[in-house]
């Protein structure tokens, strides 16, 4: 990354997300493992990224594919051993890659020893470690809170004869962050991994840690009152004022940051799911230098694909997040792959893939790539009987879940299961993915993979792109234009999101323009002529 010596590694970095179960299997059981990750890190390093983010590999019943942790200090046997983890970290560091691991702190698995003890009685030492509440006089749940995964967020326990809170699956009980002993125990588990040499953490559902002490019910959204909400899940029928994003969350994040600061060069990125106010939450969680280093939101992980939408998101970040930092992403393990979301019927997904990575590389902030997007992989189409995701199984066919973006990585087009496994993969390997395997694209200088490497190299070469300032410019139609300044350079970035060609007149203060990247033509040093889904990056005096 091109940056000054005083810039922290995480500021402007490029992170590559690895979903371990789908990356590389070395045992033939059909599921990826840590040794598989280690064996493929050279590919990741060849992209020119700065860090990897490893989705959960902790011991787990896998009800939610590892986001239901039963032991924070153990590697699930499916993925290997602690020694395998240590060897993976050593190889990553040898290749110049930082290692970020997922931390699922808001909830545990119901199989965690803490929950076994907590549910045993109302008087045991961990009785208050989870969120327990009495039923209403009529036996109903304490309030109207809903689970992200459908239905009430409360589950009746016949032993304690109380309800417990679960923002996700009923098998994922929520921890009680109002209890400082819980915070202490969680911080101790994080320290365990810091002492093993990890460089940072991705904090899952970071704004869900603390709940309203008084268990007040959420108000309905106006759209649900009017009966116009078309979401597959009822979760978005409420305004989530009390079940997440509570002010006490900031106190825990300060404790978390203080512990990280005891170690050199560590960083944390939070996942914020906060409908309608995500950037405001991001600002609160990253400003001041005493909480998280950066956060990402779902603002660019949805179906909206237009110059106005991206401009609104960037402008909101630039105006509301003073000294904080954002991590932009277009795809991850929870959403439909972006080339599928954003390619119009009859359109070319490869054009969208190229356009998207250039846009991502030009935005101000750190960026996160998801495994397989460097190959231009589209969302896999799976049969119901192939699903493993509880969300897809529950809401099919209105919502098909997240398995379509979690199918195995493809390494060798002609190999069994595209080189992922010698056994039956836990999710199918689509033929349409196999033909885009790494070995095929490595041999093609015009491939999406080659384009990704070039785009990331361009970002590294220009400090202005990684850490420089950003100034939005006026543009009509579906054109996004902005200037990046830093490292002694002035860079102009212009993107035509439209399905037809567009001309964009240069501002009067931008002259002597030299093209560095993109398909646009400079007409008479006054106008850029951009075809549909065309980009331009240039330097000016």
Catalytic positions: 204, 262
Alpha helices per DSSP H over 14-128: 34-39, 41-46, 82-94, 113-120
Q: The tokens of 528 are what?
A: 């850029």
Longest dimension (CA), the chain: 80
Cβ proximity of 541 and 511 under 8 Å: yes
* Radius of gyration (C-alpha) of the chain in whole angstroms: 23
Whole-angstrom Cα distance, residue 525 to residue 203? 47
Nearest CA to 22 out of 440, 442, 404 is that of 404
Cβ pair 102, 56 in contact under 8 A: yes
Neighbours of 305 (CB within 10 A): 19
Assess contact for 349 and 376: CB atoms under 8 A: yes
For residue 331, CA distances in Å to 40, 196, 265 come to 20, 29, 26
Q: Locate 475 and state its tokens.
A: 């543009």
E strand or H helix at 73 = strand 71-75
- Please report, for residues 187, 281, 309, 478, 497, the alpha-carbon distance to residue 304 in angstroms, rounded to integers and kept in the order given: 37, 21, 7, 13, 11
Q: How far apart are CA 32 and CA 301, in angstroms?
A: 25
Output DSSP code: residue 326: B
Q: Does residue 469 have a cis peptide bond before it, meaning omega lies within 30 degrees of 0?
A: no
Q: Which two tokens stand for residue 323?
A: 């000294």
Q: What's the CA gap between 353 and 496, in Å, rounded?
A: 14
Are 282 and 317 a contacting pair, CB within 8 Å? Answer: yes
- The SS3 assignment for 469 reads strand
Q: Are 490 and 541 spatial neighbours (Cβ–Cβ below 8 Å)?
A: yes
Distance CA 36, CA 20 (A): 8
- β-partners of residue 53 are 17, 100
Alpha-carbon distances, residue 246 vs 167, 178, 253, 367, 454 (angstroms): 14, 11, 12, 27, 42
Structure tokens given for 526? 């006054």
Q: Retrieve residue 136's tokens.
A: 């209403």
- Tokens matching residue 462: 């220009």
Closest by alpha carbon to 252, among 306, 199, 297, 291?
A: 291
């Amino acid at each position: 990354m091109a940056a000054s010596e005083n810039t922290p590694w995480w500021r402007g970095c490029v992170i590559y997300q690895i979903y371990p179960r789908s990356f590389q299997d070395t045992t033939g059981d059909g599921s990826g493992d840590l040794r598989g990750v280690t064996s493929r890190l050279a590919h990741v390093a060849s992209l020119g990224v700065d860090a990897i983010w490893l989705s959960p590999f902790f011991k787990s019943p896998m009800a939610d594919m590892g986001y239901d942790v039963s032991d924070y200090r153990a590697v699930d046997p499916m993925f290997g051993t602690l020694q395998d983890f240590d060897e993976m970290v050593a190889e990553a560091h040898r290749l110049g890659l930082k290692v970020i691991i997922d931390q699922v702190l808001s909830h545990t698995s119901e199989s965690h020893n803490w929950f076994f003890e907590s549910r045993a009685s109302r008087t045991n030492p961990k009785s208050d470690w989870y969120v327990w509440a009495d039923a209403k006089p009529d036996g109903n749940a304490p309030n109207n809170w809903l689970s992200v995964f459908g239905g009430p967020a409360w589950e009746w326990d016949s032993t304690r004869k109380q309800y417990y809170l679960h923002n996700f699956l009923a098998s994922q009980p929520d921890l009680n962050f109002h209890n400082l002993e819980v915070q202490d125990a969680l911080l101790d588990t994080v320290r365990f991994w810091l002492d093993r040499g990890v460089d940072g953490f991705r904090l899952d559902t970071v704004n869900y840690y603390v709940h309203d002490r008084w268990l007040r019910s959420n108000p309905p959204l106006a759209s649900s009152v009017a009966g116009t909400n078309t979401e597959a899940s009822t979760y978005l029928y409420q305004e989530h004022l009390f079940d997440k994003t509570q002010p006490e969350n900031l106190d825990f994040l300060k404790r978390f940051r203080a512990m990280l600061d005891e170690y050199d060069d560590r960083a944390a990125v939070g996942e914020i799911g906060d409908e309608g106010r995500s950037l405001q939450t991001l600002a609160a969680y990253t400003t001041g230098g005493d909480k998280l280093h950066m956060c990402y939101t779902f603002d660019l992980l949805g179906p909206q694909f237009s110059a106005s939408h991206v401009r609104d998101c960037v402008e909101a970040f630039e105006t509301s997040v003073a000294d904080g930092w954002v991590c932009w992403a277009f795809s991850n393990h929870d959403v439909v792959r972006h080339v599928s979301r954003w390619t119009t019927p009859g359109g070319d997904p490869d054009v969208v893939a190229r356009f998207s990575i250039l846009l991502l590389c030009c935005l101000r902030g750190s960026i996160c790539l998801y495994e397989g997007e460097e190959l231009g992989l589209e969302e896999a189409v799976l049969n119901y009987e192939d699903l493993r995701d509880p969300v897809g199984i529950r809401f099919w066919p209105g919502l098909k879940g997240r398995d379509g973006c979690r199918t195995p990585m493809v390494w060798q087009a002609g190999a069994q299961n595209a080189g992922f496994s010698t056994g039956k993969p836990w999710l199918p390997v689509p033929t349409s993915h196999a033909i885009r395997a790494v070995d095929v694209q490595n041999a093609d200088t015009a491939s999406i993979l080659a384009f990704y490497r070039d785009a990331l190299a361009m970002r590294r070469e220009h400090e202005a792109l990684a850490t420089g300032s950003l100034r939005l410019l006026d543009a009509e139609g579906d054109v996004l234009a902005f200037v990046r300044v830093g490292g002694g350079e002035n860079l102009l970035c212009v993107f035509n999101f439209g399905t037809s060609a567009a001309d964009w007149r240069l501002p009067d203060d931008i002259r002597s323009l030299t093209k560095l990247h993109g398909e646009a033509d400079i007409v008479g040093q006054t106008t850029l002529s951009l075809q549909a889904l065309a980009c331009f990056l240039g330097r000016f005096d």
